[in-house]
Structure 1
Amino acid sequence: MKILKKLFIKNYRNTSDPKVHHRYGVVAGVIGIIFNLLIFGCGIAVGLISSSISIIIQSVANLTDAGSSVITLIGFKLSSKPADKDHPFGHARIEHIAGFIITIIMLMVGALFAKSSIEKIITPEELNINTATYIVLGFMVAIKLLLMLMYRSFAKDIDSDTLLTSSVDARNDMLANIAILISMIVMNIFDINIDGYVGLAVAIITIISAIKMIGETVDPLISVKPNRKLVNKIKRELLSFEGINDMHDLLIHTYGTGSTFVSVHVEVHENTSLLDCHELIDTIERYFEDKLKINLTMQVDPVNPDNPENKRIQSKMQRALRTLNKKITIHGLRVVRSQTKTTVLFDILEDFDSHLTKKQINSVLAGVFDNENTQFEFIFTIDKPFT
């Protein structure tokens, strides 16, 4: 696949560039159209001559795959359009819609094939199997294998749901062609007609795969956890800047290649001046925009992690809260002292399956500091692990 990338995709390694991303889709779409039309022509001819419903089904599937490649082309073309006043975050999610359309086509084709196969089981026809049948089926297997490898490689490079869907479709077609080839050999040797049953099996595999892929193509349109590699990269880059002690509340909104928006809370020492803090944050945001193509917004939390009293308070709070939930954690803790009370400001991180209320948390924390010489007030936010 590397040869294809070198020949047809300029700067193919720079997959963060929207133009390169778009080019991957165009190349995959054009190659898919050409080869699917080629094996459709060969397959439909052999299928009609041999009267095999399973071969005809697979040939028509190749025609729909060519149509899917057209949808892929259109999807990548539209998704590469720049942002406008009605779509300020761009059009990149059209690519996911294209992938969804392809899965719907797979589902409809599978249902149609199942109907035709059942009819063949009820009223079987005599088959005319010859050497050309085996050659064409072998050719179809080889082409689908190459398409599967290309789609999978491209999908991995640019993190594309559309191309991943196409790779799964090509894999299913390849396995179906292998099954048909084996069944043709069996039918020719033992003189039995299982063509309708093989066609039905192929149709069922197509339907099951389509149903699975519907969820995978729709999920990004609803909301999913961001890519773990991206999360780790953002964390690594942020913590590499001197003055950033820690970070939390990382939120990532990705609308496609070149359209990623990130917000995060960063912890800096409370003695850092406002001017120095602003300069640091401004430098980091420019770095993310220029080097990583990420629109970053940061909130600064002033902390003093070396203060022994703050450490004592956080430790007591952490132990108390873990009586409610062992996985709960505290971050961004800040202590403000006055003559009448001590105010503790912090964030709590709990899992999505945990549903603690502020009343429960306040009740537990109040009991921990009953014996202190000052009154404690707790101001906090309950966060969920969005990354």
Structure 2
Amino acid sequence: MNEYKKVKNILIAILIANLLVAFLKIIIGNYIGSYSVSADGLHSLSDTASNVIGIIAVVISSKPCDKEHPYGHKKFEVLSSLFIGIMLLFIAGKIIVESILQLNTSESLNLTMESFIVLVITLVINVIVSRYEYNAGKKLNSYILISDSLHTKSDIFISIGVLVTLILIKLGAPIIIDKIVSFVVAVFILYAAFKIFKFTVGILVDRAMVEENELKEIVCDFEEIKGIHNIRSRGSESDIYVDMHIMVEPNMTVEASHKLEHNIERQIQEKINQNIQVIIHMEPYYRL
């Protein structure tokens, strides 16, 4: 439970940082008349929404197992990431539609050194936030932190593209480049959504989480094991379930087989992931 509290506190801190970045970008975008900067600000604002969703999901996921949820509530964290992906699709669609409507406009940009400096500062904040969130996610085995860091990471590349575009326009490039970059912003958002969908859908449809050969190598190190088959795995990085059938000598005692099961599980946890739970079905091995 303590780890869930750490994840929640990290998300709250990142929420405040993302709010600051989003409002700065939107204000500057409106001030200098750049739709690409405003679009980037809307994307950053979606980061704050994902943080709020993440906080709610972490609170629910931290609940202990009960009769209705014997495997716990951790998939609520996955569902929240799926919702973030849907939200990103909506924002990308909105930016594309408004970019098309803005193609025939020819307003000039009012880029000042002050606004440029503020945009660079927001970029630096995004880099720090994304890196910190990803490292914390790996350390705490938090799927929502890793997923949200990928969302924030897309901001970095988008902001770099927007800054380069503004410089080009300041140097005399046609104003339509600003509208074109907004399409690029939408593409990056769509890509971020795709990555989130890929991970979340894989977990929800019980995609294999551990390589079968990797498990075989670990289990076959035990001399008591005469055969292994029907290996399955599912879950997420922070909550992996593995089950398998192993063959042992028919005369092995219940006590010995019980000890062997625990040793196998401990070895798998040490070599692959501490969050793995292993269920083993014992079968008698008969020599032909």
Unpaired runs of 5+ residues, structure 1, are: 1-17, 305-309, 311-387
Whole-Å separation in 1 of the counterparts to 2:39 and 2:129: 19
Q: 2:235 aligned with 1:281, yes or no? A: no
Counterparts of residues 20-35 of structure 1 (less than 5 Å): 20=3, 22-23=4-5, 25-35=7-17
Residues 38 and 231 of structure 1, relative CA distance in 2, 3 Å threshold: farther
Instruction: Report the TM-score, using the length of structure 1 for normalisation.
Output: 0.65
Alignment correspondent of 1:249? 230
Task: Indicate which of 104, 114, 119 corresponds to 1:137.
Answer: 119
Aligned residues: percent identity? 24
Say which of 30, 43, 48 aligns to 1:66.
48
- The one-letter amino acid of 1:215's match is K
2:285 aligns to what? 302
Residue matched to 1:36: 18
**Structure 2 equivalent of residue 50 of structure 1:** 32
Using structure 2 for the length normalisation, give the TM-score.
Answer: 0.85
Which residue identity does 1:283 align to in structure 2?
Answer: K
1:201 equivalent to 2:177? Answer no
Map 1:1-387 to 2 at 5 A: 19-20=2-3, 22-23=4-5, 25-190=7-172, 192-193=174-175, 194-228=177-211, 232=214, 236=218, 238-254=219-235, 257=238, 260-270=240-250, 273=251, 276-287=252-263, 292=269, 294-304=277-287, 310=288
**1:261 and 1:141, CA in 2 relative to 1: closer, same or farther beyond 3 A?**
closer
Q: Is the 8 A contact 1:265 1:301 kept in 2?
A: no
User: Residues of 1 paired with 2:254 and 2:142: CA distance?
Assistant: 37
129 and 218 in structure 1: CA distance in 2 versus 1, 3 angstrom threshold:
same
C-alpha distance in structure 2 between counterparts of 1:67 and 1:167, whole Å: 13
SS in 1 for 2:118: helix
Structure 2 residues without counterparts, runs of 5 or longer = 270-275
Q: Which amino acid aligns with 2:224?
A: G
Displacement after TM superposition at 1:68 (Å):
0.5
Residue aligned with 1:164, SS = helix
CA contact (8 A) 1:248 1:266 kept: yes
| Cα deviation, residue 53, structure 1 | 1.1
Distance in 2 (alpha carbons) for counterparts of 1:27 and 1:144: 18
CA deviation vs aligned residue, 1:329-358 (integer Å, no higher than 9, x gap) = xxxxxxxxxxxxxxxxxxxxxxxxxxxxxx
Q: 3-state DSSP class of the match of 1:250?
A: strand
Question: What residue in structure 2 maps to residue 364 of structure 1?
Answer: none
Q: Measure, in 2, the Cα distance between the counterparts of 1:278 and 1:59.
A: 63
Structure with higher strand content: 1
| Corresponding residue for residue 321 of structure 1 | none
CA apart distance, 1:65: 0.6
The amino acid across from 1:269 in the alignment is E
CA contact (8 A) 1:46 1:132 kept: no
Number of residue-to-residue matches in the alignment:
280
Counterpart of 2:122 in structure 1: which amino acid?
Answer: M
CA spacing shift, 1:263–1:206, aligned 2, 3 Å: closer
CA gap 1:244/1:42 in 2 versus in 1, 3 angstroms: same
Q: Is the contact made by 1:161 and 1:217 (CA closer than 8 Å) also made in structure 2?
A: no
- Which residue type is aligned with residue 200 of structure 2? T
Q: Kindly tell me: are residues 207 and 85 of structure 1, through their superposed partners in 2, closer, same or farther at Cα, counting changes over 3 Å?
A: same
Query: Secondary structure of the residue that 1:123 maps to in structure 2?
Result: coil
> Which amino acid is the alignment partner of residue 207 of structure 1?
L
